Chain A
Amino acid sequence: MNWVAWRMLNGDLAKYLGAVFGVAFGVLLVTQQASIFVGIMSRTANPLRDVREASIWVADPHLQNADEIEPMADNAVYRVRGVEGVDWAVRLYKGLARARRPDGMFRQVILIGLDDQSLVGAPRTILLGDLADLRRPDAVFLDKAGHQSLWPGEPLAVGREIEMNDRRAVVVGICETSAPFQSFPVVIATYSQATQLVARERKQLSFVVGAPVAGLTPPEACARIAAETGLDAMTYDQFMWRTIDYYLVNTGIPVNFGITIALGFVVGAAIAGQTFYLFTLENLRHFGALKAMGVNNRRLVGMVLLQAAVIGAVGYSLGCGMSVAFFEVTDRLLPDLRGIHLPWEIALAAAALVVVIIGLASAASLRRVLVLEPAVVFR
C-alpha cells in the first residue's frame, strides 16, 4: 500500500510540488533568516574575536559591549600583570576613527591597536604585505573588505596612503578579519601607532588581554584580577555573550528577524498544509474505494503519513539545500554576508519545524480519511 501511496503522490505532480514548495519555502526562509540573525549577532564582538591568543579580557568595570568602550589608564596593564596567576597580559586598543583618502573621500573605520612587541591579536590571513612591516612608522594594515570600500573596484595593493587624525598612514598590508557588525573597514596598527591616529584622550587603553598560567582556569584568573584590580575581567565567552546580550536586548534586530522567521514558518505551513489537505480531499474518493476494498485505518494512516513524510523530507532537503547554496554564494560575493553559514543547530531546528508543519498538514487530512465511511464509494 505504501507503494500505492507513493504513486498517488507522484501522480498529482502539481499538488506534490506545491506542497513541497511550501515546505521548502518555509525551510529556506527560516534557516536563511535564522542563520543571518545568528551570524550577525555573533559578529557583534568582531573583529575582537580574532584575538584568539587571549583567554582573559580586562576592561573598565562599566563596559556593556564591545563597541562602547570606557578607556582605562595605561598602567592597568601593569596592574593586571601583577596579579598572581596571570601568565602574560598586553594592551589592546579598539576605537572608531576616520580614514580619509587623499582626494577627500573618507570612511568611518574600526581601529585596532596591537601590543607593539608581541602583536597579540594580529590578523592570521594576510593577503598582501608582511606583518613585520606593521612596526614601521605610519604603517597600518587594512582588511580586504575595507580596501574594497575605500577604493571600490580597484585591485588590492599596498602603498596606498590614507590620512587619519591629520596624520599620514600607509597601507602596508591587506588582511582578512572576521566581519564586523557595522561593516566598517578595519584598520590595524601597533598600539602606539593607533593612539596617534585618533584624537588624544587622557585615558586610552581599551582592553588588557592575556592568559593565565598553566593550571589556572581563565574564570579563576578573572576572579583574581577583578578582586585585586577592581577592573572587569572576563573570559572571551563572557565578553562575547555580554555584547550579544546587549544587542539582543537593546536593538530591534531580534524582533525583526523573529517576525520574518515566524512569517516564513506560517506561510510555508499554510501553503504546504493547504495543498496537502487539498490533495487528500481530491483523493478522498480513492481512499474510500481502498477502504471498501479492505484497507484498514491503520494502513490508510500509514499511507497519508508516508505521503506527508515524503513531502516534508523533499521540501526540507530542498529548502536547506537552497539555504546552503545561498550562503555559499553570498560568502564569496557579498562582503557583508561573509562568514555566515547555516549552523547545524538551525538545520536541526528547521527539521523539527517541518515535523510540526507535516504533523499539522496530515492531522487535518487524517481526520477526513479516518471518518470516511466506506459506503461513500457508492454515492
Chain B
Amino acid sequence: MPAACPPSAATVGVSCRGVTKDFGAGDTRTRVLHGIDLDIGCGALTLLVGPSGCGKTTLISIIAGLLDPSAGEVTLFGTPRSALAGDRLVDYRARNVGFVFQQYNLLPALTAAENVAVPLLVNRVPRREALVRARDVLAAVGLEAKCDAHPAQLSGGQQQRVAIARALVHEPRLLVCDEPTAALDSRSGHTVMELLKAVAVEPGRTVIVVTHDARVLELGDRIVEMADGRIVGGGTVAMLPGEMRA
C-alpha cells in the first residue's frame, strides 16, 4: 500500500511550479515547456492530453525524474526534485516510480513473471520472493495463466498488462504511462485503460497517463490538456472541448 500523501499537501502528489524545458543550445535552442504550473492529486487517474509534439512526454519525463527541467521546480510527495541528484534520484525512481511505455519494453528473454519481478530485483528484493509477488500481481491483472509465457507468446494487449503489473509490483507512489494504448487496437486499448483504472488507482498514488486516444478519455478522473508546451485546460471530462470527446 503506497504511503498516504503528506497531510499538508492534502491530496496533491505531484506539483510543478514554473517548469520550463529548453532543448538544444544557441541558435537551435527551442523551448518545449513554458513555465508549467500544475498540481496532480493522489487517488485518481489523471489523463494528460494534447496534440503530438506539444510536450506531454517531456513533461512526464521531468515529473518522473528522467529529465532535468531547465527551470522551475517539481515536488514529488513533498520532496523537491532538486534535492535529489545522481544516484539518489535513481534510487528514488526505483522505489517510488512505476513506468508503462508505449512499446511495453518487456525483456524478451524473461517470462512474464520474471519481467514483472524486475522492479523488485532493482530494489534488491530476493529473487524467490520477487517472483512470488510478481505472480500475485500478474493474477491481479488477469494473467495468472501466462506467468511462464515469454513476451513473444503474448498479444500486444497482454504484454501491456504484464507491463502494468511490472509498473505496480513495487507499489510505487507515482505511476507514469506514456501512450499505453497507442500500439493497441481499440478493444485491447480499452481493456488496458480499464485495468489501469481498476488496479493502479489507489489512495496515496498519483497516476498520470499520457494519451491522445479520444476513446479512453471517459476513464480519466481528471484531464489536463496541453498545447504548445502550456497547460490550456483541465478538469473533469465534462469540461473538455467537444472534439476531444468525439
Which residues does A use to contact B, with CB under 8 Å?
Answer: 1, 3-4, 7-12, 285-286, 289-296, 298, 373-375, 377-379
Contact = CB atoms under 8 A, between A and B. Distances in A.
A295 B108 CA distance: 18
A11 B91 contact: no
Contacts of B99: 289, 292-293, 377
B93 A294 contact: yes
Nearest to B102: A378
B154 interface: no
B237 to A, nearest CB: 25
A378 B107 contact: no
Interface stretch (B1-9, B36-44, B113-121): B113-121
26 contacts: A3-B121, A3-B127, A4-B118, A4-B121, A7-B110, A8-B107, A10-B109, A12-B109, A286-B107, A290-B122, A292-B93, A293-B99, A294-B94, A294-B95, A294-B123, A295-B90, A296-B87, A296-B91, A298-B87, A373-B67, A375-B61, A375-B67, A377-B66, A377-B99, A378-B61, A379-B57
A378 B118 contact: no
A216 B122 CA distance: 70
Interface in B69-111: 87, 90-95, 97, 99, 101-103, 105, 107-110
Interface of B: 57, 60-61, 64, 66-67, 87, 90-95, 97, 99, 101-103, 105, 107-110, 114, 118-119, 121-123, 127, 178
Given A294-B94, A377-B66, A377-B99, A286 B123 contact: no
A333 B17 CA distance: 81
Query: What secondary structure prevails in chain A residues at the interface with B?
Result: helix
A188 B64 CA distance: 86
* Pairs A-B, 6 closest by C-beta atoms: A11-B109, A294-B94, A375-B66, A294-B93, A289-B105, A296-B90
Nearest to A299: B122
A330 B67 CA distance: 61
Contacts of B92: 294
Contacts of A7: 107, 109-110, 114
A374 B61 CA distance: 9
A378 B108 contact: no
A374 to B, nearest CB: 5
A292 B92 CA distance: 11
A292 B66 contact: yes
A11 B118 contact: no
Nearest to A289: B105
A286 B97 CA distance: 17
Given A11-B107, A285-B105, 5 more contacts: A7-B107, A11-B108, A286-B105, A293-B118, A373-B66
B94 to A, nearest CB: 2
Contacts of B93: 292-294
A4 B114 CA distance: 9
B94 A295 contact: yes
Contacts of A8: 107, 109
